[in-house]
Chains A and B, each alone.
Chain A
Amino acid sequence: MTINELNKIFIVAKWEFLEKVKTKAFILSLIISPLIVMLFAFGPTLLLSHQEEGGTKPIGILDASGKYFLPAYKKISAFTLKNNQPAYIVRNLYNKASSINALKKTADSLTLKNDIDGYIFITSSNDAFKFEYRSPGSSAFKDLSRFERTLNQVRIESEFRKRNADTSLIRITSANVTMNPVKIDKSGKEAKNDFLVTFFSSFMFIMVLMMTILSSGGMLIRSLLEEKSNRLIEILVSSCTAKELLGGKVLGLCLLGLLQVLVWAIISLGLLGNNIIPPEAFNNILPMLVYFVLGFFFYSALFVGVGSVVSTEQEAQMVNSYLSILLIVPVVFIAPVIENPDTVLVKVLSYIPFTTPTIMLIRLNASHVPVSEIFLTFLILIISTAAAVVFSSKIFEIGILSYGKMSNLKEIVKLIKRR
């Protein structure tokens, strides 16, 4: 490659980079993409933890057995909101004068009138108890689990008392065992192997990779379309070779992608500092970045080639959606791969360049991947990227000068062979 060629590649890359950096689409994607990723990653947790802040809830207890109300009342009333207000105001719905059926009817109507959020209904026959939480909507997960825990405690305490057992045993018996998974490797390092950490870490990287490729790939196809429809492409290829143009466009695109990643990295470092993202998510940051960059190059090279065949807006959308599907397919594998990172299928998928980046991003976090395998997959990605560049530049040389109906695959293959 001569200095002249490099110079032209650089001029094209600079133009592509500077002109796209200024576009609204790019600035939006810079801000919106991490927002979407965060929404996916933290949305459910945020939703759960925010339910409590709904305020104090009136609930009722209708205890037909007569054994649970008082202790349950005490314990449930003790729950507080963040501002130290009681979480629940508990009403006793039991009344000796009425039949259980009548009481239940009254309680149901109170609930439906929204006087209370719902009520705990306790019945017993012989020594078996039945517990219901009756409410008009689907009940909040957090409330239900609190009531369950409370009533279990009450039941155990009453059984202990019945048998005159030492009540201090209650605390011991009600403590649960939790199993902490620890990932170990040959070097003796230990790491917390948390499904959530693995998921978030891999998931974030994969989402960011996808968004970067999709947004910059989409921009590239649109700009090629513009250049083709106003024949600027002819002035361009009469000033430099198609290869220089392709090289410049891919380079500009990659710079754009890297800028995006840089901005997002700064954002996530900020989140890391605030303990929003667990630091374990960045354990394998170096190989992960390599997979990210190689994956990005590979897909960008493909986008440029395929994009050059497009000559109308509709075709551009079609091509874009095909490539998006290609990108999204590996995401389906995230959860199963985290659970079983060492199956044969997963290993096979790690050697197919289309899925290599995604699968390896997960495997790195989910299990111990041998260094040899990491380098082998790097090599596969590098070779496939080179192949994609050669393939794309051939399509590109033909594609940029064809304005008619989009060539089908057969025609493209023929064209490539003929040259």
Chain B
Amino acid sequence: MLVLEGLRKEYKNLTAVDEISFSVEPGKIFGLLGPNGAGKTTTIRMILNIIKPSSGTITYNGEIINHAFDKLTGYLPEERGLYKKSKVIDIIVYFGQLKGLSKIEAISNAQLWLKKLEIEDLKERKSGELSKGNQQKIQFIIATLHNPEVLILDEPFTGFDPVNQQLIKNIIVSLAQQGKIIILSTHQMDTAEKLCKQIFLINKGKEVLSGSIAEIKKKYASNTVRIEYENASDKISALPGVVQADVFNNYAEVQLENNIAPEQFLKTIINQISLKGFSIIEPSLNKIFIDEIKKDFDN
């Protein structure tokens, strides 16, 4: 388990990260979310041991991280690029060796990954000749080649077409299933919502929100349901227990009184209108993110 406790990083006139704490369990993808300049990169750099925190600790399986931890981490930075004039296989092997692999291990792992990402035929090419998406695959390989226990991925999906996004998503999920610690930093809230079990929302260096996605959604649930019907649009607002309703031709989004559970409401209305569909509306992570960040900036 990776644990950050009271982590703080100060620069001359700026506190980039201010007393944040969270822990990441193996096997569950962890979302580190926040707007630009919120302190995500600084946090990642501290986890990667690139910079030292001003105060606070980072421990991995109970031990404070040091340079021996370097071998256990893999990192995909947000900005993409490789040594343009060097051969793909050479670049992969170089980074693999720096992470402690032998040359033979690095080459055989590289073959495996190149095959997995369907770019085996590109290994002798110069990286500058590859398409953006393929370069990104190489970078992904660099991050995972040495089979790291802690994998930090900064916006891993941008720049990929939908087919390759799915390919990478599947690989990330299977890595998590293998029991790896995966920290996903992204702006794509729908992706985070689908992949992450836990999230940590950071803004201006401080924690805004954290916890499991299910809990967070419950907390932000507004007791709203969506009903679909035929020829009943004029009756909706008058139904019992409705606080407010956005009514459209064939469906409506209805906010209920706090003491009325959705299933109770369903029982009441089922005989009153010809119902086509019924669902509980959960606030999207995107909406929660925007609302919370806005609130934070207003303060």
Contact = CB atoms under 8 A, between A and B. Distances in A.
Interface of A: 8, 11-12, 15, 19, 22-23, 226, 229-232, 234-241, 401
B82 A232 contact: yes
A117 B80 CA distance: 68
A232 B81 CA distance: 7
B85 A241 contact: no
B48 interface: yes
Given A19-B85, A401-B45, 17 more contacts: A11-B94, A12-B98, A23-B85, A229-B79, A229-B81, A231-B78, A231-B79, A231-B81, A232-B81, A234-B48, A234-B75, A237-B50, A238-B49, A240-B70, A240-B98, A241-B67, A401-B50
7 contacts: A19-B85, A229-B79, A232-B81, A235-B75, A238-B49, A239-B95, A239-B98
B32 interface: no
B85 A236 contact: no
Interface string B66-90: 0100100101011111111110001
Nearest to B80: A230
A226 B95 contact: no
A229 B49 CA distance: 20
Nearest to A397: B51
Interface residues of B, number: 27
B85 A234 contact: no
A375 to B, nearest CB: 38
A119 B80 CA distance: 74
B81 A234 contact: no
Interface in B163-207: none
Contacts of B50: 234, 237-238, 401
B99 interface: yes
A34 to B, nearest CB: 25
A12 B99 CA distance: 12
Interface of B: 45, 48-51, 67, 70, 73, 75, 77-86, 90, 94-95, 97-99, 142-143
Nearest 8 pairs of A and B residues by beta carbon:
A230-B81, A239-B98, A238-B48, A231-B77, A231-B79, A11-B97, A15-B94, A237-B50
Given A8-B98, A11-B94, A234 B82 contact: no
B1 to A, nearest CB: 20
Interface centre among A229, A234, A240 (most CB of B within 10 A): A234
A236 B81 CA distance: 13
Contacts of B81: 226, 229-232
Majority-rule SS of A interface residues: helix
A230 B94 contact: no
Contacts of A15: 94
A234 B94 contact: no
Contacts of A238: 48-50, 70, 73, 75
A8 B95 CA distance: 11
A226 to B, nearest CB: 7
A401 B77 CA distance: 13
Contacts of B82: 230, 232
Contacts of B143: 235
A375 B84 CA distance: 45
A229 B80 CA distance: 9
A229 to B, nearest CB: 7
A11 B83 contact: no
A22 B48 CA distance: 32
B67 to A, nearest CB: 6
Nearest to A227: B83
Contacts of B45: 234, 401
A154 to B, nearest CB: 69
Nearest to A414: B12
A8 B98 CA distance: 6
A237 B48 CA distance: 9
Contacts of B75: 234-235, 238
A76 B41 CA distance: 85
Contacts of A232: 81-83
A401 B51 contact: yes
Interface centre among B77, B94, B98 (most CB of A within 10 A): B98
Contacts of B98: 8, 11-12, 236, 239-240
B37 to A, nearest CB: 12
A119 B94 CA distance: 73
Contacts of A235: 75, 77, 95, 142-143
Contacts of B99: 239
Contacts of B83: 19, 226, 232
Nearest to B77: A231
A239 B70 contact: yes
Given A19-B83, A23-B85, A234 B77 contact: yes
A401 B83 CA distance: 18
B80 to A, nearest CB: 7
Contacts of B95: 235, 239
Nearest to B51: A401
A226 B84 contact: yes
Contacts of A22: 85
A401 to B, nearest CB: 7
B12 to A, nearest CB: 8
Contacts of B80: 230
A337 to B, nearest CB: 42
A14 to B, nearest CB: 9
A229 B82 CA distance: 10
A19 B80 CA distance: 20
Contacts of A241: 67
Contacts of A229: 79, 81
Interface centre among B49, B94, B142 (most CB of A within 10 A): B94
B100 to A, nearest CB: 8
Given A231-B81, A235-B75, A401-B51, A19 B86 contact: yes
B156 to A, nearest CB: 14
Contacts of B70: 238-240
Contacts of A240: 70, 98
A292 B241 CA distance: 90
Contacts of A12: 98
Contact of A230 (B48, B79, B85): B79
Contacts of A239: 70, 95, 98-99
